[in-house]
Amino acid sequence: MDRSKLLLLGASGHLGSRIAKALAATDYHTTAVVRTKEKGEALKPFIAEYIVADVLNPHQVSGITQHVSVVISALGKSVLPNSKDKQSFYEVDYKGNSAVLRDAIKTACKNLFMCQP
């Protein structure tokens, strides 16, 4: 039987990497969304596959939820004071998640879990 496909955004983060590890003990076929190949490779023991994408790039988000049963978003701009990331909370937490949500509406993916407060 085919395993249910699950898309995990923010998989390389504090919360996302713990979710990835927890999912490894389930039957889900987990695809992690990461920003670099290195981060995807580091998650390989816990996931089925990874894709490299920046959620603020519309071309990279388009169709990202296609053929996926469940989406979990642990996306977020880093709260660490020494973070070198130039993107804002508004861009990542709001615009990034909104882009994923819009894609899920388009692809009729009904199970979305957002970790944002």
Ligand X SMILES: NC(=O)c1ccc[n+]([C@@H]2O[C@H](COP(=O)([O-])OP(=O)(O)OC[C@H]3O[C@@H](n4cnc5c(N)ncnc54)[C@H](OP(=O)(O)O)[C@@H]3O)[C@@H](O)[C@H]2O)c1
Residue 62 near ligand X by CB under 6 A: no
Shortest distance, position 84 Cβ to ligand X, whole Å:
10
- With a CB cutoff of 8 Å and minimum separation 6, the contacts of 62 are 103
Of 29 and 39, which has the nearer Cβ to ligand X? 39
Considering only residues 23, 92, 99, 109, which one is a binding residue for ligand X as defined by CB under 6 A? 92
CA–CA distance from 106 to each of 38, 62, 68, 99, 100 (Å)? 30, 9, 12, 11, 10
Residue 17: both structure tokens together: 């990497």
Stretch that binds ligand X, among 21-29, 64-72, 74-82, 98-106 (CB under 6 A): 74-82
Contact in structure between 37 and 80 (CB atoms under 8 Å): no
Distance separating alpha carbons of residues 92 and 77, to the nearest angstrom: 6
Considering only residues 47, 70, 75, 99, which one is a binding residue for ligand X as defined by CB under 6 A? 75
Q: Provide the residue type at 106 as one letter.
A: K
Residue 10 near ligand X by CB under 6 A: yes
Shortest distance, position 76 Cβ to ligand X, whole Å:
3
Residues in contact with ligand X, counted by CB under 6 A, come to a total of 24
